[in-house]
Amino acid sequence: MKTETNPLKVIQDYPVIPVYYNEDAQTCIEVVKASYAGGIRVFEFTNRGPKAPENFKALLAYRNEHFPDMKLGIGTIKTVAQAEAYIELGADFIVSPIVRADLAEITASHNILWVPGCMTPTEINLAEELGAPLVKLFPGDTLGIGFLKAIKPLFPNLKFMPTGGVDVNKENIDNWLNAGVTALGFGSKLFQQPENAKDYNWLTERCQLLIKLVKG
């Protein structure tokens, strides 16, 4: 079977996106393995600590060897230098908490999907003008479902992905989907480890449940 190469298409096909960082490379690998086993095919690692570049490199190496159909992107990218460094490492897509024209330019020049984070109609409009096909609503729980419902008709050609505080229950997921999101980014609420957990089977099961809830 041919592996889909377009990250945006894979995001649309597999709209549950874990957003994760850990200082320990082996822990990162175990988390990605468990997520993949649960059906995840798009994973966002975040640039949130000193070990981020080397851990991302380790994740890419593991991904390339074991599950090449997974898209592995990098988040919390705020500068061109950061974007260039991770593009050089092999990131499949770049996610930012902000909108910047120079980030749009550098990702476009490398033909890399850029997902900017937006909080206002002005930022969303700027992201659209800069060519972003998918916008991250951040922080999702602060903006809320009502915000998306209000602004979505203004941007009929844009796709939206809330990240930050998106809950892992059916009601919250259904509300976001009914408001018209393309994908959902799951952070700390996805990775709350149950007490007495000895391995990452709980994460595999949680990912399976989320995919079932999102795909109906």
- Coil vs helix vs strand at 169: coil
> Whole-angstrom distance between the N-terminal and C-terminal Cα of the chain?
25
Q: Are 32 and 64 in contact (CB under 8 A)?
A: no
CB crowding 108-120: b at 16 or more within 10 Å, else e: eeeebbbbbbbbe
In the set 2, 4, 23, 44, the catalytic residue is 44
**159 is annotated as an active-site residue:** no
Query: Which one is catalytic: 71, 128, 136, 159?
Result: 136
Active site residue 215: no
Helix (H) or strand (E) holding 194: none
Segment (H or E) for 90: none
Three-class SS state of 140: helix
Residues annotated as catalytic are 44, 136
